[in-house]
Chain A
């Protein structure tokens, strides 16, 4: 195996999680010949192997899979493909000229040249410090994902009496997981007035196990000598500030933090690529191409997705783009279109549209977005620079916790379109 590696590739993909795996296989299908997949861990699949719960694949495969099963749908195809995998390899640097410096036990520090680079490094969890919980610095404070790895991969239970901060999907899943392993979960705290996780996870992970979800509550202090002994929980007001006098002490030995994910864009930044401060990912065009020609990004390194199915979808968009880039089949628009997050929208991906599409099989463009607040009876709208509404759609409810999509027919974009603004508002009564 070792000697097969070369120092030049058509496409080098950084990260063999669902995004990198999906893109590698999709790119090969589209005729990209020479693909190297670099992975820092000793297994493929990214975070999926430790996500042993089910609920994956409903969207993409039309059946319910566990995380490892979902990952293996891709991993199992790798040996039969021409994709080369170099695992336990850490990428230390990428230059804007797409020269990659990587390190592993067998090849040492090595330089690899690529025609195209696809960034698929995924994301990491926010820590205690990101939300500045004061108190003692004891053992027993860990992120939900780390706890998940200890339990599902290493086979150890990191705590017996647990409080979970954050009701995103990871927090919900881990509240259930800890319970199933015999730990007692006191409650799940959520600073916002709503859970940011999927509704089905809230029902299946908390309600079914009688685990209380305390909305508008947060952790204001962690206490203990060597290990967590107790925490202080406070209610928050509308400005999310703790309300004095609302403090309650909860005895516990473990704090699980599920307080959000941050795209791992250290390499992206080293390359000098511009990031979107809202998504934490690169600014990209509809091809998922960054500012640097031939450098693409997809998956959670670009925007944190709710479902791995959407990551796979995005990896295919990027793979298609890579093949078009490598075969020089792309035609630039005369004017770039800038996409803007309008009313009650936090972000839209892509950030701009750069190319013209004449293929028969590419008639629409999917926009991915999140609302900034929950909106019932919502109307999602795309308006161009002249104020003309291009498309609108209705949804019973949109929430910040669930990514929304709008399918934009490309025929609606004319040569002169320079700007599109996406917004979500409450639909006017009876205008259905």
Chain B
């Protein structure tokens, strides 16, 4: 197949670039190796829109942070992504901290960060009543905010898709074909895509992609672990709270998420590219760090923990540049913090680089570019006061009246919307990211089975093909009995059922017919029936099996 531009990577950088470039009359394909957008760093980070006082204007990441922060209000309102400018506080406990805070303010004032203030203990305690008593100063930055990072990423991708982007999930790039220093094609495990321009936004794998094009690049992932608390505790704090960083440690932050949960973390350790495991030591470390800021953190209120990787380059700066070896190849790599904040500005930077590869008459802006993503209704956005307004949606479709996820109040209608959105959810995790089903305190214990059923029904697949996050992560292993055979069930499943029924009636016969998959089990059963049971255990089993399922 052919395209003008191929973007590698469906994280916030890739999707922000995609949205920007779909403003032009260009054929664009985004390839992502996972089963959904926002499956890497973009789903597991602090979700903070940084004010920018940390930024060194000499660095790319500093410049883009400063440039991007003011863009968030319009961007998030256009895309219906939860975003709040809560402001942030860098909290200081001693004289040394105060010095650091002063330096940060000076730096921030110099580069034009609005409204920075150093506040004292009294005001700090007033605006953050749960803050540690020993906290004495804080740098207040009103322009900092919080955003839902995976929702932003998906919304960027979906808005781009609305404007013509083709998203190809589960496509892992295996080769970059070049000819005499010019780009020819991107080859994935499924497709070969000929194109003029490639954007390498592959996160922790950006170095592997760079090497395919003949460029040297090193990405050393750093892992950070987090805890999420029940929404019940989101009100405990009002701002993003950072400790004052020291030479050795950036410290653990405490923030609300855009959906009102409380988030604490991260630590930072070198890690492998697939290492998303949380560790017992790490979890103790972040809890300890967080308690320094908020001592009465409800330790029992944790509903989830996770780890994310930051794709850091040795220069500790973003690498947004054309490839030195291949014409048409652009890197958007080394995107560590503040990559989420910077994304809209990163996209503009990449846009400039893309312009270098096309004659200006070739880059025509679409006159029908849609800047906004149609709003999707969410029941959790309504509270006691305006709940009755929700009836408007139920009148349109009754599915909005059936609550499936009881913790987050997600209706069947919202789940079906996610399955048919511009970049359709295909997995349980994808539904969770789009509709929040399973995101709450029971972590999908109750709604999981129902969501599996809805996915299977809507996509016309067997429940056994439904995955958590793509092939290999199937939720169900095999059918037990034919309890809920449905009209819709595929032929394949019918055959399986018949086979299984046959097996239960006549194990010996079945063993012959159905050798490969059930050989082991069938032989065992046949053996038990042929010979006298020897052990007490076998006796028990025979007794129970002959009693049938009801008599378990």
Contact = CB atoms under 8 A, between A and B. Distances in A.
Q: Do they bind each other? A: yes
Interface of A: 40, 52-54, 66, 88, 90, 92-93, 95, 101, 103-109, 111, 124-125, 127-130, 132, 134-139, 142-143, 145-146, 149-151, 153-160, 176-177, 180-182, 208-210, 220-221, 223, 225-227, 242, 253, 266, 269
B537 A105 contact: no
Given A52-B550, A182-B521, A132 B302 contact: yes
A348 to B, nearest CB: 22
Contacts of A146: 444-446, 448-449
A106 B409 contact: no
B279 interface: yes
A93 B387 CA distance: 10
Given A90-B406, A225-B472, A108 B552 contact: no
Contacts of A151: 480
A253 B473 CA distance: 10
B549 A156 contact: no
B478 interface: yes
A157 B232 CA distance: 34
B10 interface: no
- Which residue, B300, B445, B551, has most C-beta atoms of chain A within 10 A? B445
B interface majority secondary structure: mixed
Given A130-B302, A136-B277, A157-B477, 12 more contacts: A54-B551, A129-B304, A134-B279, A137-B306, A149-B449, A154-B463, A156-B476, A157-B478, A158-B476, A221-B280, A225-B274, A226-B472
A53 B306 CA distance: 36
A153 B483 CA distance: 7
B453 interface: yes
Contacts of B483: 153-155
Nearest to B280: A134
B402 A88 contact: yes
Contacts of B174: none
B403 A90 contact: yes
B368 interface: no
A355 B182 CA distance: 88
Contact of B445 (A125, A136, A156): A125
Contacts of A111: 388
B475 to A, nearest CB: 6
Contact of B448 (A128, A142, A159, A226): A142
Contacts of B479: 155-157
B107 to A, nearest CB: 37
Contacts of B402: 88, 104-105
B179 interface: no
B471 interface: yes
B390 A180 contact: no
A79 B539 CA distance: 43
Interface in B431-452: 441-446, 448-449, 452
B403 A40 contact: yes
B435 to A, nearest CB: 15
Instruction: List the 9 closest A-B pairs by CB distance, nearest first.
Output: A226-B472, A155-B483, A90-B403, A139-B473, A105-B401, A156-B476, A139-B468, A226-B473, A105-B398
A150 B304 contact: no
A204 to B, nearest CB: 9
B305 interface: yes
Contacts of A124: 441-442, 445-446
Nearest to B275: A136
B472 A105 contact: no
Given A129-B303, A129-B305, A155 B472 contact: no
B95 interface: no
Interface of A is mostly: mixed
Given A90-B409, A127-B442, A208 B398 contact: no
Query: Chain B interface: which size bin?
Result: 35 or more
A421 B401 CA distance: 48
A227 to B, nearest CB: 6
A201 to B, nearest CB: 13
B458 interface: no
Interface in B303-341: 303-306
B547 to A, nearest CB: 10
B464 A92 contact: no
B309 to A, nearest CB: 13
Given A134-B282, A157-B479, A109 B388 contact: yes
Contacts of B505: none
Contacts of B550: 52, 66
A64 B541 CA distance: 21
Interface in B466-495: 467-484
Nearest to A143: B445
B247 interface: no
A324 to B, nearest CB: 31
A155 B480 contact: yes
Contacts of B482: 155
A37 B82 CA distance: 36
B443 A108 contact: no
B3 interface: no
Contacts of A153: 449, 483-484
Contacts of A225: 274, 472
Nearest to A52: B552
Given A127-B442, A154-B449, A226-B471, A106 B398 contact: yes
B394 interface: yes
B384 interface: yes
Contact of B453 (A90, A139, A154, A253): A154
A150 B552 contact: no
7 contacts: A134-B305, A139-B474, A154-B453, A155-B480, A156-B463, A226-B469, A226-B470
B537 A108 contact: no
B399 interface: yes
Contacts of B469: 139, 226
B476 A54 contact: no
Nearest to B484: A155
Contacts of A226: 467-473
Contact of B280 (A90, A125, A220, A223): A220
A197 B371 CA distance: 58
Given A93-B387, A136-B277, A154-B483, A129 B477 contact: no
Contacts of B29: none
A105 B445 CA distance: 23
A159 B476 CA distance: 7
B391 interface: yes
Nearest to A154: B449
B135 interface: no
A136 B446 contact: no
Contact of A53 (B401, B474, B552): B552
A111 B474 CA distance: 41
A157 B387 CA distance: 39
Contact of A108 (B306, B401, B472, B551): B401
B160 interface: no
B395 interface: yes
